[in-house]
Amino acid sequence: MEEVGTLIVGGGIAGLTTAWHHARAGGEKILLLESERLLGTHSSGLNAAILRTIGPDPLTTSLSLRSARTLRRPPAGFAQVPLIDPCGLFLVADTSRGATLAGWVEAAGPDSGSIEVSPEEFHRQVPFYGGEAARVFSFPQEGRLDIAALVAGFAEGSRAAGVTIRRGVPVKRLSTTGDRVTGVELEDGTCIAAATTVMAAGGWAGRLGETAGSRVVVIPTRRHLLITKPHESIDPGWPVIWALGDEFYCRPESGGMLLCACDQSVVDPSDCRRDDHVCEIIAEKMTRFLPGLGDMQVARFWCGLRTMTRDDRFALGPDPDLAGLFWVAGLGGHGMVCSFDIGRLAARRLQGGEPVSEEERALDPARLVEASA
């Protein structure tokens, strides 16, 4: 039987950043298995590619701010192109959310790089916006991510550091001996033994963990995105606009606008199909939030998985019951922005055992068992 040191299940951003950091920190005999024929096919290739750092959870905000610094200045040779298009981002709160937004910004401190702008100034800069703007914060260094470059950077860097990546290889179940995960069984019946198996299977992580009896709970949810057909009135240099209260976000994309109504519903990861009703909700919100743009036609409408946890924090660390199983899952809506820090924290715990920082303790998957018990 083939034997490896670390076997990573999943070739999305969770698996790739873990492989990249773990290999560069000295991890040996690392094998990454991806069921699709291409890396980054699911959530990591279906997201909105927005760099937004500030949110309700100070821990996730701090991880985002730190990861964003690396995205701005990635390690030498990571990518041939910038990973960020700093087109700017506005967080726009209605009356119900103004104080909340101001609280998030204050908690983030001066590192957030934000500037409060008056509603009048915001409407002057973004005349096509029709939503209520009670408090507005501008983040001039934020904006869009180059997802293809990010995924390729982690994949190529992992291979260069000695990681073996196999695509088109679905894992059927985890193999166990007593309370230890000893590797995986593939769909074709082949078994691979591993000292440590990393669960980085995105929306499928919970289901795959259950094959070994893991009690860690992660929740796959669905969200839709829509891109309009190109229109001459749209400037590709416009910033990202994210409305809080009645949630909605948009940014230019391919000559049109990418739009999201921030819908969320729990789904079976293997049956994540589009719901055309959400297309109508997005169209209705567009009419209210972007009246200045007039009628737009749909060019593309799709959905993807955001895998949540009970407290909206990542599941990052060893399984509390099963030796040999390590979780890098539940990345919610932050996996791309936080990618550099997720892998850094995963690699440290893969090599270092017990959590040493408050951050590591807060992300430990053991809390997700306690919640479900």
Min. distance of Cβ 307 from ligand FAD in angstroms?
Answer: 6
Q: Which of 19, 33, 89, 278 binds ligand FAD (CB under 6 A)?
A: 33
Q: Which residues contact 217 (CB under 8 A, 6 or more apart)?
A: 206, 309, 310, 368, 369, 371, 372
- Rounded to 10°, the helix 13-24/147-160 angle is 40
In this structure, what are the phi and psi dihedrals at residue 72, rounded to the nearest 5 degrees?
A: -70, -35
As a whole number of angstroms, the distance between CA 94 and CA 8 comes to 43
For the chain, the maximum distance between any two Cα atoms, rounded to a whole number of angstroms, is: 67
Burial of 83 (0-12, 13-18, 19+ CB in 10 A): buried
As a whole number of angstroms, the distance between CA 335 and CA 308 comes to 11
Told to check if 170 binds ligand FAD by CB under 6 A, we report yes
- Nearest CA among 158, 125, 112 for reference residue 12: 158
Question: Contact region for ligand FAD (CB under 6 A) — 5-13, 79-87, 152-160, 228-236?
Answer: 5-13
Residues 42-71 that bind ligand FAD (CB under 6 A): 42-44, 46-50
Q: Which of 331, 346, 366, 368 binds ligand FAD (CB under 6 A)?
A: 331
Told to check if 201 binds ligand FAD by CB under 6 A, we report yes
Sketch the per residue contact string, 120 through 159, with ligand FAD: x for CB under 6 A, - otherwise: ----------------------------------------
Residues 8-27 that bind ligand FAD (CB under 6 A): 9-15
**Six-digit token string for 193:** 């033994």
Told to check if 342 binds ligand FAD by CB under 6 A, we report no
Min. distance of Cβ 304 from ligand FAD in angstroms?
Answer: 3
Min. distance of Cβ 342 from ligand FAD in angstroms?
Answer: 9
What residues make contact with ligand FAD under the rule CB under 6 A?
9-15, 33-36, 41-44, 46-50, 170-171, 200-204, 208, 223, 225, 304-306, 329, 331-337
